[in-house]
A and B are shown apart, each in its own frame.
Chain A
Amino acid sequence: MADINAMVLASTTVNIDEVYSAGLFAPQAAPGGSLETINGGFNKDNYAGGNDSIPMWAAQYGTHACAFYTGSFRQEFTYALQGGGKNKDGSQQRTLHAGLAQPLMLPWAASMLLYEWQAWWNHDATVWDSDGSSGGPKKERWDWRVQVDGTVVQGLYGRLPPGRRSTSLATDVAPAYVDPGIHEENRWRYTARVGASKNVAKGHHSVRISVWGGIFGPDPKLAKLRSLSWGLGILAIR
């Protein structure tokens, strides 16, 4: 740090011009002659090198960016009955995926808020009447929605497709009922999506992902969505 001289005022009363030139602003004065030395008079040890820039590592942590992450290998189960029952077109009671949800507090307004999430899903969903003999296939599926500050990001909406078939209807009973068997593993999905919000205000925010199963039956209590591993990362940049 360049040494700043002590202020010496000749007048015993306040003389604004003297105060100014003797201590506050005197760019032509010798180094340290006034507080003006703070404006560009720092010790070169603080500079990155020849172009007098300040290196990124020299700034306080969190000056330019901050990040949030949640993730786990802990399995989470969601059953179709939690989402409203058997009727695909009935009321949707979406289930928050507890692991894929993150509150965050930004200490400053962010130019860009990037959020990426990944999950390995194992789910149960069937195509009933797969031969179309009763008016065409009836397809089950699961879906997810991403909400940022409570608003759904439609561009990140997605579905998990059916992966097992039955030629019967879900409502058939034995002997007409044909068990669809187990869900085909190659119809399970690994999902990675990324989105962004621009010019985000400082303060509290949230990124949440909810799931819902459009399952007809026969037993929504058994049809489930299992996430085996998952992670949600958020990067805010000023």
Chain B
Amino acid sequence: MSVTPPDSGTTITAALITAMHEAVRAAAHAVDAADLARAALGARNLPSVLIAFDALEVTAETTVSTPFGAETAADILTNWVGLNGFTLSNGGAGYVIGENWQLVAFATIRIENFYDLAGAEHIMVSPLDLDEQAWVALTFEINGVESVSLTDTGFVHGQTSYSECEEIITIWSFTGPYSAATLNALRVRAAKNYANAGVAWNFKVKNGFIGFIAIPPNS
């Protein structure tokens, strides 16, 4: 489908111009009318579909001592603590979401250990048992209103005789479509559950990643 221009140095004539036009015309006519896009439209002449996206690596650790109340959205949003660093907000400006866009969001959280407060990291004679739980949830704040789905939560539990937990919780969330809005922030909230009698304990989140992409509608 190439068009051959006159050689450099050649005198341009009306005949050469009409010949070039004829070549362009023939090339355009050669494109299958019913399949023009597949034949001609690629990365070089179509824009990206990805308009709103962001991701953040988190290396700041957080000690979680906030008690869990219930496995409900209300409790998550009211009582669970926001994890240090696990907030995506575009510097507070948020992200513009178009009509009927959908969000694919993710968070991966490393729960390092459980430890009692009496003696720093407790060692081998554990006062804890199998029922200590570390809970996390991925939340969305849209148009100033934070919400969470219970499918975007996860937890791990402690274990007798070991303070090291070393469990990974990874959450993928698919939500939408949304009306045109501002995604103010993505957050990860966390809480501990199960109060072993007489033992104050916490758990530590060591690192992780949080991010999202916004997908425009198909048509």
Residue of A nearest to B13 (CB): A14
Given A60-B43, A162-B164, A193-B209: A112 in contact with B50 (beta carbons within 8 A) = yes
Q: Is the interface of B mostly helix, strand, loop or mixed?
A: mixed
Cross-interface CB contact of A155 among B24, B58, B124, cutoff 8 Å: B58
CB distance from B148 to the nearest CB of A (A): 19
Residue of B nearest to A156 (CB): B209
As a 0/1 sequence over residues 37 to 52 of chain B, the CB contacts with chain A under 8 angstroms (1 = contact) are: 1100111001011100
Cross-interface CB contact of A9 among B17, B54, B166, cutoff 8 Å: B17
Is the pair B53, A111 in contact by a Cβ cutoff of 8 Å? yes
B108: interface (CB < 8 Å) = yes
Chain A interface size, as a band, is 35 or more
Chain B interface size, as a band, is 35 or more
A3 to B41, CA, bound (A): 20
Task: Please name all residues of chain A whose beta carbon is closer than 8 Å to the beta carbon of B37 when the two chains form the complex.
Answer: 46, 54-55, 58-59
Given A7-B17, A191-B168: A59 in contact with B29 (beta carbons within 8 A) = no
- Give B residues with C-beta under 8 Å from A: 12-14, 17-18, 21-22, 24-25, 28-29, 31, 33-38, 41-43, 46, 48-50, 53-55, 57-59, 106, 108, 110, 112, 123-124, 159, 161-162, 164-168, 170, 172, 207-209, 211, 213, 218-219
Listed from nearest, the 5 A-B pairs whose CB atoms lie closest are A58-B37, A155-B57, A196-B55, A161-B164, A60-B42
- Give A residues with C-beta under 8 Å from B: 1, 3-9, 11-15, 19, 23-24, 35, 38, 42-43, 45-46, 48-49, 51, 53-60, 62-64, 107-108, 111-112, 114, 116, 127, 130-132, 136-137, 139, 141, 153-163, 165, 186-187, 189, 191-198, 237-238
